[in-house]
Every structure is written in C-alpha cells, then in structure tokens.
Amino acid sequence: MKAFTVLGPSGSGKSTLVAALARLDGAASEPVPLGDASLTVFRYLGQDWAAIEVPGGPDAMAAAGPALATSDMAVVCVPAEVDAAVLAAPYLRLTEEAGIPTLVFINKVDATTERVRDIVAALQAYCRHHIVLRQVPMRQGSTVVGAVDLISERAWSYREGGPSALVELPADTAGREKEARAELLESLADFDDELLSQLIEDKTPMTAEVFAVARKVVGHGDLVSAFLGAASHGNGVTRLMKSLRHECPDPDALRERVGAGPGVIAIGSLGDVRKHVGKLVLVRALGAGVGVGAQLAGASVGSITASDLKTQVRTLEPGAMGLTLKSDHLVPARLYTAGGEQALPAWAAARAPVFREVAAATSDRDDVRLSAALARLAEIDPGFRLEQDDVSGNAILATQGQLHARRLVERLRDDFGVPTAQSAVSPAYRETIGRKVEHHHRHKKQTGGAGQFADILIDLVPEPRGSGFRFEEVVKGGAVPRNYIPSVEAGAMEALKQGPHGFPVVDVRVVLKDGKHHAVDSSDFAFRTAGRAAVKEAMVEAGIVLLQPIVKVEIHVPSAFTGGLVPMISGIKGQVLGFEAHPTAAGWDVFTALLPQTGLEELYRHLGSATRGTAWFEASFDHHEETSAKELKLAEAAAG
Ligand SMILES: Nc1nc2c(ncn2[C@@H]2O[C@H](COP(=O)(O)OP(=O)(O)O)[C@@H](O)[C@H]2O)c(=O)[nH]1
Ligand SMILES: [Mg+2]
C-alpha cells in the first residue's frame, strides 16, 4: 500500500480531488472520518492507495503531522488564485519541515483567468524548494481547456468528467511549452549530472530518461512539482495520479524520514473514538509481525480492520494500513516497537493550544463521566490539551482554536452524552503588598479546659517581582520556642493562598521577630492560627497591589502580514519586541511581543482575521506587572 496526505486551504477542493482520484479505477470506498481528518482507500492500476485528507484552517492542523508521518507523499491542493497563495503557506512550510516529497495541485483552473506561472511564483515565496511546473495550460481565450505535459510534451484536451483526449500541441502554446520545459529540465538537472551534461551539450534527452530523473528528484523531495486541473470536472486528475504512482518513494524512505530505528515496526497515525466501538488508531506497518495478537507498543493488538471498520485483517504487511480496535494501550502519533513506543519527530507535533475555555458538565451528576470523556479525547486528539482552572478547579479545554473547541463540545454531547457549558478561564492574577509593615497579633482563647495562646510580632516585607515567598525568623532567647516556628510559617503560607481579592499572594517576605508563649496553653495549632491571622491583617495594612501576568508571545506569521501586526499588538495593549525572518521557513517571520495574559483571547481573534488564518502563536509566562483594581474590574467584566 502507498499513502499520501492531501492538505491545503479550506475550500481549495481537497475532498473533491480525493474523490476524483479514488474514482479513477472504478469503485472507491467512502471517506472514513478520523477525528478532523478522513481516510479514503482505493485501488489504482493494481496498487492499493490510502489518501488522508486534512481539512484546511488552523483548527485541524494538528492532524497534519501524524498524517504526514504515515504518508509517502504530500499533495498540497491550492486554488488557482495568486491572492490565495499565502493561504498555502502553512502547508508548504509543514511539508518542508516534514521533508516529505510534495506535489502541488493547482485546482479550479476552470474558474481562473490568472496565469499559472504567476500562481507558482506566488507560492514559491513560501517554499525553499524550487516549485516547478510539470504542465502548462492550453487555453481558448482565457479559459483553460487542457494541459501539456512538459516531460512527454503531449497535449491533453480536458473532457468533462472523463479522461482527457490526446491532441496535437496547439501552435499558440508551443512557445510557452518550450520555455517551461527548459526551466523544468534545468531544475531537474541541478540534481542529476547526466541530465546536466546532456543539456550543456544541447542534446535532447529521451523522455524515458527525464521521467526517471523526475522520479528520483521528486521522490527524494528535492523539487516540488506543480500540476494543474479542475477536480470537480475530473480534469488533470489522471496526470496527478500517474505522478503519484511513479514518483512515490518506497516505505524505506518513510522509515528514515520519521527517524524510525531498527526496532520500530509500525507508526500510529491518527486516532478516534466511536460509539459502541471504542478507541481506534490508524496504524501503518513498517516491518513484519504487525497483526492481531502480536505485541505492539508493549501489549497485544486486539483487532485490526480495514478502513471500513468491518473487514477483519489478521496481519498488516509492511507498508499496509489498518485500524486497530480493542487495543486501548495504543496512543496515536507514535512510533511503535513491539515492546514500547517513541515520539514522532518534532515537526509532527501539534502546535501549542491558542484557545482556552472552561467546560463544566451541565448536570453535576455527569462530572465523573465528563472527566472520563475528556481524558479519552485528549488521548486521541494531539491538538487538545486538558488543563485545570486555578480558581474553579474545572476542566479547561486548551485547543487549536474556537472551531476545534466547538467540535469537542459537540462530541462530548453527541458521542459521550455529556452536555457541557463553557465559560471564560479565570485570569491568573496575583496579589502583593505595597510597603513594609510591622504587625503584632495575639491569639488567646479560654474555652473550658485547655486554652490557646500564641503571641507573635512579624514584619511583612515586599520583595522583588518573581521572588515568591520567603520566611525568616530572628527570634531571640526562645521568646517563640523553636518547635513552634514552623507552625507560624505554615500559618503565614495559608494566609497567602488567597489575598483580599481572592488571588494568591506573591513576592513577600514574612519575618518572625518576637513573640510570647505560655507553658500550658501554647501549641502548634495556636501558633499556626496566629501566623495566619497576623499575615492576613498585615496584608491589609500594607496595602494590596494587584499583579497581572504578562506573557511573551512568539507569533509565526507570513511576512506579507508582519507589518499589520504592529498596530494590532498596540491595539490590544501589547508591547512589540521585534520581528525577524524565520531561520528556515521561507516567507515566514517570527514576531515577538509582550502582552497581558488577559489579552490572549483578543490576540487569537485579531490574528486570525489579520492574517487570514495563517498565523499562530506560542505564549509563555514572562513576568507579573502591577495593575489597578479598576483594570481588574474591567477585565473581569470583559471576560463576562
Ligand atoms: N470550479 C471548481 N470548483 C471546484 C473544483 N474543485 C472543487 N470545487 C468546489 O470547491 C468547493 C470546495 O471543495 P472541497 O472539495 O469541499 O474543498 P476542501 O475544503 O478543500 O475539501 C466545492 O463547492 C467544490 O465543488 C474545481 O476544480 N473547479
Ligand atoms: Mg474537505
């Protein structure tokens, strides 16, 4: 079996293309959903094929890594529009990071009047590898009516819904064809000395030789070939499939690309859960011995089916794919040895979550089921991280975006029967004190028998940002006996758990200076109570200062949009630190800024619209900064 992943912007025609490819040889299976992605299995000229479609947009991008890590090739499907080239940037970047041989399919040429070479030039801005045209369009007026293959130099006239017809190369296309062919041959010759010397000697290379070079060069991922067509009319689809067939490398290349050591016998790709079926993982075998009952990742495989989830499969031949069932131990997006598992390479990892929401079961009775369902979803969805709200203790859905969050909530309701309500995450404010104070507290109680007595004198001292909490004692002459001092500290820490505004108190030092005790009535409990009360009272006296978390954001953005980020960041009270070209990704900048953590949601929203969904960010805590209670009220009001 050979496998490829189809990715590209939303609406570029990926589903249409996969359906058209799968239909070429007759009966195709229906696409099977696997989380956000879908798998289509079909046969073409006696060979089994698997096509994994990853939907467009940032929300589903987490599926792309595991899909590419189980595929031999990638097809980036783009609409035939110069202006849409930037939308392909995230996919071109990822396929380059994955080092996977890539074909570009310029789709919807039936609906364009733009020049294909301009579209390729626009795409090239986001790709280090040279993108070369493998076909040029034939036009009637401005309408594309067919394409000329630049290796065979055959001209094909499109026919609605069927294979193209071989025609005479039209005279008005001949000049352009020669020019584009020369460019293709030169590009190929960069990677093949034999072809290069033929070109230098002005010899015309044999078609079969050029195909062989293309197979080597494309299969090695040295060049990106661009094809064109109109998937919804079945045009250009056969040509693309033939290229996949001839240029798809064998599974050894995949093994090397994912860094699979000798013990690795399979790759766990995408996962899912189905009602009545449970967890399933798409597995691709790399070596022998992958089958029902055999050890995989440390336990035996319960059952394997074909993509229809019905046809039972005993063993997976090397290269073949199947869905493992009744094998709860298998985690998707991993390399499996018989006895254990390893991580996929870094490029296959999901981006850090950028959207957070608290989810609580609508009915308290469902709390336990909600936790179980979320744990299940986190296992199979690499883009979803389960976190916990500091204040409410509720689950936080940390996701790739609002759509992703919505889909998870729908799955919780429909697949797990747990309706939930969403709310904003409580901002991680902190409190500290404004100035140093000395405070005396005497805890004294006389109730019935034994009394309680503890008397302490403390200093509460502001400390530099980021220093947390420190306890010191300078008690002389046993005024507070040594064995009670830890109790005072414990009491102080209890008091600092929640300041007057309800947030943890940080960056303070408590100094125990003096005190008194009673031979009978003093106890650990009394001193802890005194410590807690002393600090609580001292905090109010010292004046409470609110601290808001400031995060550092690293925004990955196509350079075309970088300029627009400056006013946007200022608009959400951020501070631009700067930007520079990404060290390896063509056409990408890395933009850094400081931002109040409460502004992350706004950043998420603004960034999406300012960059047409192409940019993403990673945020990490940087420092705390003073803010006023007034701003806190505003932030709370904004958060609803
Ligand atoms: N004109 C035209 N429309 C197409 C072509 N291919 C797909 N479409 C349409 O584009 C829309 C999006 O297609 P779809 O395959 O769902 O895109 P996906 O989001 O990339 O999977 C659908 O309305 C298709 O019918 C094409 O070659 N030409
Ligand atoms: Mg689709």
pLDDT digit string, tens, across residues 173-201: 999 999 999 999 999 999 999 999 999 99
**Percentage of residues in the chain having pLDDT higher than 70:** 98
Average pLDDT over residues 330-341: 96
pLDDT at 639 over 70: no
Ligand 1 site, residue 10, Cβ cutoff 6 A: yes
pLDDT band at 428 (very low <50, low <70, confident <90, very high): confident
b/e code 68-86 from CB counts within 10 Å (16+ = b): bbbbbbbbbbbbbbeebbb
Ligand 1 atom nearest to 17, measured from its CA: 15
pLDDT digits (tens, 9 = 90+) for 454-483: 999 999 999 999 899 999 999 999 999 999
Ligand 1 atom nearest to 9, measured from its CA: 20
Ligand 1 site, residue 16, Cβ cutoff 6 A: yes
Spatial separation of the C-alpha atoms in residues 370 and 363, rounded to whole Å: 10
Ligand 1 atom nearest to 16, measured from its CA: 15
Please tell me the predicted confidence (pLDDT) of residue 276.
86
Question: What's the gap in Å between 9 CA and the centre of ligand 1?
Answer: 11
Question: What's the gap in Å between 38 CA and the centre of ligand 2?
Answer: 9
Question: What's the gap in Å between 104 CA and the centre of ligand 1?
Answer: 16
Pocket test for ligand 1, best of 18, 75, 232 (most atoms within 8 A of CB): 232
Mean pLDDT of the chain: 94
Please tell me the predicted confidence (pLDDT) of residue 29.
78
pLDDT digits (tens, 9 = 90+) for 51-77: 999 999 999 999 999 999 999 999 999
Q: Which ligand is nearest to the CA of 9?
A: 1
Ligand 1 site, residue 232, Cβ cutoff 6 A: yes
Please tell me the predicted confidence (pLDDT) of residue 393.
85
pLDDT digits (tens, 9 = 90+) for 610-624: 999 999 999 999 999
Spatial separation of the C-alpha atoms in residues 66 and 348, rounded to whole Å: 6
Ligand 1 atom nearest to 8, measured from its CA: 20
**Other Cβ atoms closer than 10 A to 247:** 20
pLDDT at 634 over 80: no
Ligand 1 site, residue 111, Cβ cutoff 6 A: yes
The answer to whether 515 and 444 are in contact (CB under 8 A) is no
**Other Cβ atoms closer than 10 A to 375:** 11
Ligand 1 atom nearest to 233, measured from its CA: 27
Question: What's the gap in Å between 519 CA and the centre of ligand 2?
Answer: 79
Please tell me the predicted confidence (pLDDT) of residue 251.
84
Pocket test for ligand 1, best of 5, 7, 14, 16 (most atoms within 8 A of CB): 16
pLDDT band at 638 (very low <50, low <70, confident <90, very high): low
Question: What's the gap in Å between 239 CA and the centre of ligand 1?
Answer: 18
Q: Whose CA is nearest to atom 26 of ligand 1?
A: 108
Ligand 1 site, residue 235, Cβ cutoff 6 A: no
Q: Whose CA is nearest to atom 15 of ligand 1?
A: 13
Q: Whose CA is nearest to atom 28 of ligand 1?
A: 108
Written as six digits, the tokens of 525 are 């409990």
Ligand 1 site, residue 231, Cβ cutoff 6 A: yes
Q: Whose CA is nearest to atom 7 of ligand 1?
A: 13
Q: Which ligand is nearest to the CA of 16?
A: 1
Q: Which ligand is nearest to the CA of 33?
A: 2
Q: Whose CA is nearest to atom 14 of ligand 1?
A: 13
Spatial separation of the C-alpha atoms in residues 584 and 446, rounded to whole Å: 73
pLDDT digits (tens, 9 = 90+) for 81-94: 999 999 999 999 99
Question: What's the gap in Å between 237 CA and the centre of ligand 1?
Answer: 13
Please tell me the predicted confidence (pLDDT) of residue 629.
67
Which stretches of 161-281 are DSSP H helices? 171-189, 193-200, 207-219, 237-247, 251-257
Ligand 1 site, residue 12, Cβ cutoff 6 A: yes
Ligand 1 site, residue 57, Cβ cutoff 6 A: no
Spatial separation of the C-alpha atoms in residues 96 and 343, rounded to whole Å: 19
Ligand 1 atom nearest to 53, measured from its CA: 21
Ligand 1 site, residue 108, Cβ cutoff 6 A: yes
**Positive/negative CA dihedral, 173, 179, 183, 184:** positive
Ligand 1 site, residue 480, Cβ cutoff 6 A: no
DSSP 344-412: PPGGGSPPPP-EEEEEEESSGGGHHHHHHHHHHHHHH-TT-EEEE-TTT--EEEEESSHHHHHHHHHHH
Please tell me the predicted confidence (pLDDT) of residue 640.
44
DSSP 38-67: EEEEEEETTEEEEEEE--SSGGGGGGHHHH
